[in-house]
């Protein structure tokens, strides 16, 4: 049966470098978990409101009614893309002063709407990806930071053994075992961060694809009804 680890004794016997590594990893892990919780809620809300918006979009018959509904769905990136396209389309319609074809020639017509959709989609992706690179950084560097703490702890243990001239299992096992705690802390910080990072990146790619698909559908509708 494995003996329980007395973490208080481990911390008391740790060197300054080991303590610094453990504090750094603990802070990174705490921030990672907070970020994971925040991003999970953000993406979950974005998904729910996007489903609601798309259902409204395909069922409604008037763009202004869709726009009014979209204003209540602030967390949906697709809704915000639509609003950007609709607002640009409204500007074009308000500036129309001649035949319908003249508006397109004068202001770029459908190209202006397309640029507005692309800008909005890029802004939404940037918002969704905010802070996520931190998780990737923690996932890739935390094990090495922990390993650094372990190596420094083992070096300190061997130096102490060399000074005392006593290298029995009893004197070697405890300090080396304590030093390995830094590696364990590094893995504890890295594993959830990597899992969350991959999950979030995958879900954001889905939003990116959906916004691109929606933009094409919206442009086709605009072309058929406003730029004949």
**Least-confidence region, from 36-40, 116-120, 148-152:** 148-152
Dihedral of alpha carbons 200, 80, 58, 42, sign: positive
Per-residue pLDDT tens for 22-68? 889 999 999 999 999 999 999 999 999 999 999 999 988 888 899 99
Query: Taken in order 91, 93, 96, 100, is the CA torsion positive or negative?
Result: positive
Angstrom CA distances, 146 to 29, 197, 222, stand at 12, 20, 56
How many Å apart are CA 91 and CA 78, to the nearest integer?
Answer: 20
* pLDDT, position 99: 45
Residue of 41, 83, 204, 67 whose CA lies nearest to 132? 204
Domain assignments of the chain as residue spans, ordered by start: 7-226
Q: What is the mean pLDDT of the chain?
A: 84
Task: Please give the model's pTM, rounded to 2 decimal places.
Answer: 0.82
The residue whose two tokens read 């798309």 is: 54
DSSP string, 10-42: HHHH--HHHHHHHHHHHHHHHHHHHHHHHHHHH
Q: At what angle do helices 169-226 and 110-129 cross, to 10 degrees?
A: 160
> pLDDT tens across 214-226, in order?
999 998 888 887 6
Sign of CA dihedral 83, 85, 88, 94: negative
């Amino acid at each position: 049966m494995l003996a329980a680890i007395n973490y208080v004794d481990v911390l008391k016997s740790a060197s300054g470098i080991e303590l610094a590594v453990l504090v750094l990893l603990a802070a990174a892990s705490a921030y990672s978990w907070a970020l994971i919780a925040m991003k999970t809620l953000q993406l979950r809300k974005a998904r729910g409101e996007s489903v609601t918006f798309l259902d409204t979009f395909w069922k409604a018959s008037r763009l202004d009614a869709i726009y009014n509904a979209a204003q209540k769905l602030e967390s949906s990136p697709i809704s915000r893309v639509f609003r950007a396209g609709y607002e640009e389309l409204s500007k074009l319609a308000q500036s129309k002063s001649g035949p319908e074809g003249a508006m397109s020639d004068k202001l770029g017509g459908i190209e202006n709407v397309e640029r507005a959709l692309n800008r909005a989609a890029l802004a939404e992706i940037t918002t969704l990806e905010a802070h996520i690179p931190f998780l990737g950084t923690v996932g890739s560097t935390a094990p090495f930071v922990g390993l650094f703490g372990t190596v420094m702890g083992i070096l300190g243990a061997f130096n102490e053994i060399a000074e005392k001239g006593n290298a029995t299992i009893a004197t070697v096992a405890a300090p080396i075992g304590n030093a390995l705690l830094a590696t364990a802390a590094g893995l504890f910080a890295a594993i959830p961060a990597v899992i969350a990072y991959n999950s979030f990146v995958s879900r954001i790619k889905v939003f990116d694809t959906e916004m691109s698909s929606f933009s094409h559908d919206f442009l086709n509708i605009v072309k058929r009804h406003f730029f004949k």
